[in-house]
Amino acid sequence: MMFIAGDPVHFNPHIKNEHSFPDTKMKVVDDNTLEYDGQVVAFPENEIAWPEILINTNGKIRSASRDENGKIHLKVKILFSKMVPRFADLQEHEIQDGETL
């Protein structure tokens, strides 16, 4: 389980590069692993903060930290082309292992 806050960004189809996708796809693999647009991001269990996460994920994950209970809290960029996804409202949502967004 992770807590994810989605920061919605409307996809501009005229700007295409290796880092832009028309609609963001995410899956919480387990308590320490997120799959974001096909790329697996694993968070080491012994760390509580990742200050370079924005740079390391090319801006996809804006912030990441672990709370006192060991749960990961993420703020992620959500690209969308038509409708804003239900979790892209800047509020934290509890996402279970195996859940696809």
Q: Please write the tens of the pLDDT for every residue from 40-70.
A: 999 999 999 999 999 999 899 999 999 999 9
CA distances to 31, 37, 78, 94 from 22, in Å: 27, 10, 10, 24
The tens digit of pLDDT for each residue in 16-36 reads 665 555 788 999 999 999 999
What does the pLDDT average to over 2-27? 79
One-letter amino acid at 79 equals: L
Tokens of 6: 């989605």
